[in-house]
Structure formats: C-alpha cells, structure tokens
Structure 1
Amino acid sequence: MTQRTGTAVTFRRVAALATAVLATTVLSAGCGAGGSAGSEPTAAPSADPKAVLLAAVPNDKDPAFRFSTLDGTDTFVGVVDPAAHAMDLGITQKNDDPEFTMAMTFRVIDEDLWMRVKLTGMPGLHDAMKLPKRWMALDRTKLDDESEAPVYQNADPANTAAIIRTADTVEDEGSGTYTGVADLTANADVQSAFDGIDVTALGEAAKKVPFTAVVGPDGNLTTLTLEIPAAGKQKAMKLVTRYYDFGKAPKLTAPSGDQVQKAPASAYELLNG
C-alpha cells in the first residue's frame, strides 16, 4: 500500500532487479572468495466512528514517526517526517546463490532523492560492484522511468485515509478497534495503493474487502489490516500498515558532507537494469 502509483511496487521491482543484477555480476566476476502525543487534535470529537478513525490518520501536523507495511510477502519500513516533507523507505532482501543480503533505502525530501545500499555476507562486494556505502544523490532524469521513483506527497504513505473513506460505515468495536469494508475499485487513489494486487481478478470481492483498524491511546492510527481474499493464482493475504513512534522517530535531513556523494554510473546501472 503506497501513497503514489507504483512506489512500493517499483521499490520491490528495483530491489529484486538489483539483487538479480548483483548476483549475476558477482557470479560472473567470481567474487565469492573475498493525531499524536504532544500534538493538537486534528478534529473535534465525533460520534461517527468513521470520522474518528479518519481523524487518527497521520497528517502534516504530526511529528516524525515510523511506519511499516506488510505487502504480501514483502515488508517495507521507514520514517515519515511531515515537517521536512521527508520520508525514508527501505527493504531488505536475501540472495541465496551467491549468499548475500542487500538493504536498500531511499530518502526523499520533496522531490530530492538519495539512495543507500548496504551489502553484507560477501567481503569486498561493495568494491566489486563499485557501489559506495554512503548516501548517493540521484538525478531523476537519469532514471529510465523517473515517474516511478518515490516522491514525498503526504504524511500517510500507505493511503490509509483513502481506503477508509471507501467504507460506507465504520463500526466502533471498543478499545480503539474499528472495522469496516473497503472498496478497492472506488477510485484511482485507492487503486494506486494496490499495485501488487490483481484487483480485476478479485471481481466483486474487491468491492467488499474487510479491514480492521486500531487507534492508540494517543489518538493515532497504529494499524490498518486488510483481508485480501484469494483470486485466481493469487493467494489470500493480509496487507498490514503500522504507524508508530510518533515524536520518537528521527527527524530527516538531506545527507551532507562525507555522508553523501553523487551517484556513480554503477548506481544507475543497478536501478535501470
């Protein structure tokens, strides 16, 4: 679930492509030997559970917080800093043959974009791939499809508000738990949050996807879980978004000094395949 068309899906594809490119290169090169606490309420109290739930969704007045999304089998983690219009988005993938782990992180401030790649499990892999360990400042115009690179849009990276709005009614189950039924076909904003799901294959079931949301004692949305039914070759799955550590997550700034360098050609080769 993402705030712009293709962000998480593109990130997944980039990570998978990068892993494949790394594995192929390593094999050929023979490198194997070496509304939050302390913030003002965003809405007046309401008897309408849907309004209460929507008021709990993060907005640009919230302090920095962490998030994670479980999108099928992939977990994305990151930080959102609304005041800086900034976001970190990361994923870690393991490769079996050869064995190594790649952690890839994008940092976005408005439309400025940096990438950091951490390779572990094979000594000398960074040097072999000509990839620095520092942040790399990316030039969007050098990406094959710059429109799919992440940008900062708002403080709700999983589009939870757009999903909740599709529910005709939301039930207050008590203890901060809310339930409803989402329509994944409702509009482009909602559909863009599910690029990894074959909404067409779901048919009518896509219009009545159950969800459960939990609001913490501080008034912040902490989890949104959607129960996606099986359809065709697609297995039933849960899509889970977590928002947490409001006011405890680090503030995000542009990498500077010896933390950063311009992205070398090898970085664009990695991203563009």
Structure 2
Amino acid sequence: MTQRTGTAATFRRVAGLATAVLAATALSAGCGTGDGAAEGAGSTPGASASADPKATLLAAVPDEKDAAFRFSTVSGADKFTGVVDPAAHATELSMSQKNEDPEFTMGMTFRVIDEDLWMRVKLTGIAGLHDMLKLPKRWMALDRTKLDDASEAPVYDGADPANTAAIIRTADTVEDKSNGTYTGFANLADNADVQDAVDGVDVAALGEAAKKVPFTAVVGPDGNLTSLTLEIPAAGKQKATKLVTRYYDFGKAPKLTAPAGDQVQKAPTSAYELLNG
C-alpha cells in the first residue's frame, strides 16, 4: 500500500523542538534538580528455503489484516517504541529524550486513531516542572488546526510504520539463509519513501554505496517479520551505524482506544506553545 512516510522523523523533530523549549523555560525559571525517575523479537523458525525469497519476505511485512503489535526502531542514539493497531487505524509512538543543562528527561507519547490525536508528556529530573509549564500528566486531546504545521504531527501511517516493505522492494535479489533469515542489498538512493524511512542518514554522502546497503531480515515462526537491520557504512563525518526495526507481540499488544474519563483533557494553550515553539 502507499502510505505517508517518516513518522519517526516527524516525531524526532517535534520531540527535539519540545525539549529545546522546555530547556529554555527551565533555565529562565531557575529550577533546581528534583527527584527523577523486554522486547520479544520472536524465536528463530525452522522454515526451509523459499522458492522466491523476496516475495516471501515481503509477504511477512505487517499489513492491515494483522492483529495489534508492538514495534521499535533504533537509529544511532534515537529509539522509538510504539504500538500499531491496524483494525482501529491507530498507532502509538513514544520517545524519551534527556537534556543535560538543565538536567531533566522528557518522555513524549502520541496516540493517533484515524484523524484524532492525543499527546502525553512525562517530565522527570526537575521538581515541579509539570506545574511550572502548565502541562498535565494526563493525555491531552490535540486540535490539529491549532498546530502551526499540522503536517509535522504524527498520523496513522499504516501497518508498516518503518517502511520496511519499501526498503526490501529496492533489493534486486534477496537470499534465503534458512532458519527465517534473509539477506540482501537495499538501494537508498533516488527513492523518497526509502529516504524518509532512513531519515537522519546522509544518503547523498554515501555516494554509490547508497545503492548497495546490506540488510538482514528475520521472519518468525508465525510468518511475521520480526526484524530488519540496515548496515549503513561510514561516509565523510558520518560513522557507520545500524538501523534496526523490530516488530513483535503480534496479537498480544493492547488494542488502541481513545483515552476517556479522567485519563484525558483538552490540550491547554501551553501544549500548543510547546509544539509550535
């Protein structure tokens, strides 16, 4: 399916902006330091070699027929975790970011169901920071029309939030290594969907190497893709790194519903100030 890409990249930009705003506010207020506060990637299956490894691997990528599942993406120091519930057209995306001066940690979670959007912020490390910034600890229902750039807000991207299918499709061939392991070479150049999926990587700096980036994928015994690892080579000032996506807990992850009752409130003005910078 065709889907909007780059949710993790969007969240990274939003979280970075929010942390910068919080840091500036905390410094100007002269706050003191207060009290601060296992993934299962599936087992290795014993499947025999497939006749068409690329088709088999693509068929293992989550789609709209799958039950709710968890996911994580790791790119250098960035780690995102979340839940996808295809039946509800819903996703939840979380990130934790630490600020050094002043020292505090911000946890930010977005939940999207169709067009509805909620945000929850957790602040630790500085006493009273929630109250000072007038940010509740509950879910906040956001109005997209009040965001300066609504395109930056998370949306439901479909059942493959890391765009693993787009990456796999760029491979000329995929090799079945047996036991559920597949290898190939992805072409990250001249493909907008793929470049959004690897946001944070300077694809241009890779030059010709961007056209042949090795990857390893693992399919679990239930036939679901459990991991995709891209081995990004070093280029210029960019160090070699791994981009790792994991999909797990199919059918075990919680179904996503709209926050209700005392779990939620309308987002205050301070929340929009935080997001709009």
TM-score relative to the length of structure 2: 0.90
1:105 is aligned to 2:147? no
Q: Name which of structure 1's ranges 107-116 and 188-197 shifts more when overlaid on structure 2.
A: 188-197
Measured on the aligned residues, the alpha-carbon RMSD in Å equals 1.5
CA-to-aligned-CA distance 1:120-156 (integer Å, 9 cap, x gap):
1222110001000111111112112111211112100
1:92 is aligned to 2:99? no
Give the alignment partner of residue 134 of structure 2, picking from 118, 123, 130: 130
Count of equivalent residues = 261
Give the alignment partner of residue 218 of structure 2, picking from 175, 200, 214: 214
CA-to-aligned-CA distance 1:46-66 (integer Å, 9 cap, x gap):
610111101110111111100
> 1:194 offset after TM fit, Å?
2.0
Which residue pairs with 2:196 in the alignment?
A: 192
Q: Name which of structure 1's ranges 96-105 and 186-195 shifts more when overlaid on structure 2.
A: 186-195
> Structure 1's 218 and 33: CA in aligned 2 closer, same or farther, altered over 3 A?
closer
Which residue pairs with 1:166 in the alignment?
A: 170
1:16 is aligned to 2:16? yes
> 1:72 offset after TM fit, Å?
2.1
> Structure 1's 46 and 171: CA in aligned 2 closer, same or farther, altered over 3 A?
closer
> 1:163 offset after TM fit, Å?
0.6
CA-to-aligned-CA distance 1:63-88 (integer Å, 9 cap, x gap):
11000000221000000001101000
Q: Using the alignment, how far apart are the partners of 2:6 and 2:60 within structure 1?
A: 25
Q: Which amino acid aligns with 2:68?
A: A
Note the 1:1-273 alignment, pairs <5 A.
4-32=4-32, 47-273=51-277
Identical counterparts, % of pairs: 83
Q: Which amino acid aligns with 1:68?
A: S
Q: Using the alignment, how far apart are the partners of 2:222 and 2:135 within structure 1?
A: 42
What are structure 1's unaligned runs of at least 5 residues? 35-44
In the TM superposition, structure 1's runs of 4+ consecutive aligned residues that sit over 3 Å from their partners are: 3-6
Q: Is 1:6–1:148's contact at 8 Å kept on the other side of the alignment?
A: no
